[in-house]
Amino acid sequence: MTDEPTHHESAEARHREFERLVSAIPDAAIVIDHAGAIHFVNDAAFELFGKCEADFLGQPIGFAVKVGAVSEIEIRRGTESRTCEMRVVACKWNGVPAALALIRDMSEQKRLSGQLQHAQKMEAIGMMAGGIAHDFNNLLLVMLVHAELLRDDCDPVDPRLAGVFEIIQSIERAQALTRQLLALSRKQPTETSVVNLGKVVADVFATLRRMLSANIEIVTLVGDDIWPVRVDKGQIEQVLMNLAVNARDAMPTGGRFAIEIENRAVTGADRDLAPGDYVAMRVGDTGVGIEAAHLTQIFDPFFTTKERGHGTGLGLSMCYGIVTQAGGRLTVDSNVGAGTSFTVLLPRTHETAGQSADACVEHEGPSGRETILIVEDDQAVMRATAATLRKGGYTVLTASNGDEACRVVQPKADGIDLVLSDVVMPHLSGPEFAEYLATIRPDIPVIFMTGYSDHPVSSENGHSRIANHRAIMKPFRPRDLLSTIREVLNDRAQAAA
């Protein structure tokens, strides 16, 4: 008779210990019987579901439960949805066979995993885009230089002149495609300046009005004392154009296109963005909206919901690349039938706007009599560049890569006044050759020419620079190349004087 109470007390002690252990589990823990009714819920479950004990006990769990299974479930908590992982194991509750469901909130891991996958996808496509852009810019350079040289040789009444202008305009449109590819890689050479986003919108308003149909109302709301930002003004205009095109397509029967700009302080609670001051530009429409299933893919390259022939899927990817490259963030919010809004956040700068350093140059570009070494592995680019320099009066030496350039400068260094070098070359890159040149003739200036480079492109006094040397971006116009060369040579002469 004495063993029975002892056994009963031991069973109760084991049950209390089991309950204590389940209560201490950091995951949500729910004990259910074979009918699916809930008998126990720990504190973590109360927090995850946003409910109290009375909402659980005796109620069905609401999920398909299978012992030994691992499944993904969605938990609604008010208007919020949480993605969770549920594992079910067999147990005994008060001596009766039951099941223990352990539920872990995986929402944050899912978000981080999605960001990582998107970053990896953008990196892979960016590498591909950069390689294509490098070769494409070389081809465009050859076409542009020879087309402009041909234009300069034509008489104003030459009937071929109209065709030459058509060629040049087509090359310029091809340049825009290359910029989109480079925006994907986030390595598009930028010409940044300190701007006010309100003024950028005002400057582009007339263009937006022409792009959007007459039955679309355009509204701009700009807050007081908007902070300045450092961006490439042309690229931000591209972002606005692309968002306007999407809005137009989403409102075939008309609607409202609104641009709102305000200052915004971001705190540490926003995990996707560094705390600080930002300028927020919200671009919204009252169109058909975007399905929730598509929102996670909206910035993916080549993803489009438009019919074939009506969209490349590059527009929003380009916008994402431009904003990210500027140190900001681009997000989207949309509801089917209620419109879409994109929010651009750009970091505030404490710099003040300065005057452009660009100088007006004559049509053909300034000339000279100095000797210039061209280092370029693409022979067509070499020939086009050499033709431009010779027409400008310069003596030209050539080398097809950095190694060959080293052999050229060793016996002729005293006779070389400037080096014009590509950046990406086999054997020895442009910056590596420049380092070698600095050891034997540090007074010889180097100008880099590139359409794409892994080397950072910075801006100083309105000029692009790579590895502390002046840089000119391919495809360049002959007069721009000649102007850059003349500026650098003149600076060298002034320094020597």
Judge if 217 and 325 occupy the same domain.
yes
Does residue 293 share a domain with residue 231?
A: yes
* 434 vs 457: CA distance, rounded Å: 16
The whole domain housing 431 covers: 371-496
Cite the DSSP H helix spans in 429-497: 430-440, 478-496
* Share above pLDDT 90 across residues of the chain, in percent, rounded to a whole number: 33
Cβ neighbors of 116 (< 8 A, separation 6 or more) are: none
Percent of the chain with pLDDT over 70: 86
Listed residues 135, 164, 185: the one ending a domain: 185
Q: Is residue 276 part of a domain?
A: yes
On whether residue 168 sits in a domain, the answer given is: yes
Return the H-helix or E-strand segment holding 21.
helix 3-24
For residues 291 and 383, state if they share a domain.
no
Identify which of 13-17, 156-160, 259-263 has the greatest average pLDDT. Answer: 259-263
437 and 377 fall within a common domain: yes
Q: Are residues 99 and 123 in the same domain?
A: no
Phi, psi of 376 (to 5 degrees): -155, 130
Give the mean pLDDT of the chain. Answer: 83
Position with higher pLDDT, 111 vs 246: 246
Query: Is residue 24 assigned to a domain?
Result: yes
Helix (H/G/I), strand (E/B), else coil: 195: strand
The tens digit of pLDDT for each residue in 91-120 reads 888 888 888 989 998 888 887 887 777 667
Structure tokens, 209? 């009005």
Domain boundary among 331, 347, 363: 347
Same domain for 294 and 337, yes or no, is yes
Cβ pair 34, 60 in contact under 8 A = no
Q: Tokens 């995850």 — which residue?
A: 48
CATH number of the domain residue 160 falls in: 1.10.287.130
Residue 127 lies inside a defined structural domain of this protein: yes
Q: At what angle do helices 233-250 and 161-185 cross, to 10 degrees?
A: 90
Q: What angle do CA 235, 239, 240 make, to 5 degrees?
A: 115
Our count of domains for the chain comes to 4
Domain-located, residue 361: no
Q: Does residue 436 sit in the same domain as residue 314?
A: no
* 30 DSSP β-pair partners: 41, 101
Indicate whether 411 pLDDT > 80.
Answer: yes
The reply to whether 272 falls in a domain is: yes
Please check whether residue 355 lies inside any domain of the structure: no
Answer yes or no: do 274 and 224 share one domain: yes
265-319 pLDDT, tens digit per residue, is 988 766 667 889 999 999 999 998 888 877 777 877 655 655 544 444 567 888 8
pLDDT at residue number 182: 65
Structure confidence at residue 478 as a pLDDT band (50, 70, 90): very high
Q: What CATH number does residue 74 fall under? A: 3.30.450.20
Q: Which residue did the predictor score with more confidence, 81 or 481?
A: 481
Asked if residue 397 and residue 491 are part of one domain, the reply reads: yes
Does residue 410 register a pLDDT over 50? yes
As given in the structure block, the two tokens for residue 238 are: 């591209």
Q: Is residue 360 part of a domain?
A: no
The answer on 220 and 312 residing in a single domain is yes
Mean pLDDT of the region 477-482: 92
Same domain, 116 and 216: no
463: tokens are 């000029």
Q: Tell me how far apart the alpha carbons of residues 108 and 270 are, in angstroms, rounded to a whole number.
A: 13
Q: What is the pLDDT of residue 405?
A: 93
Picking from 54, 80, 105, the residue at the C-terminal end of a domain is 105
Task: Check whether residue 24 and residue 151 sit in a common domain.
Answer: no
What pLDDT sits at residue 187?
53
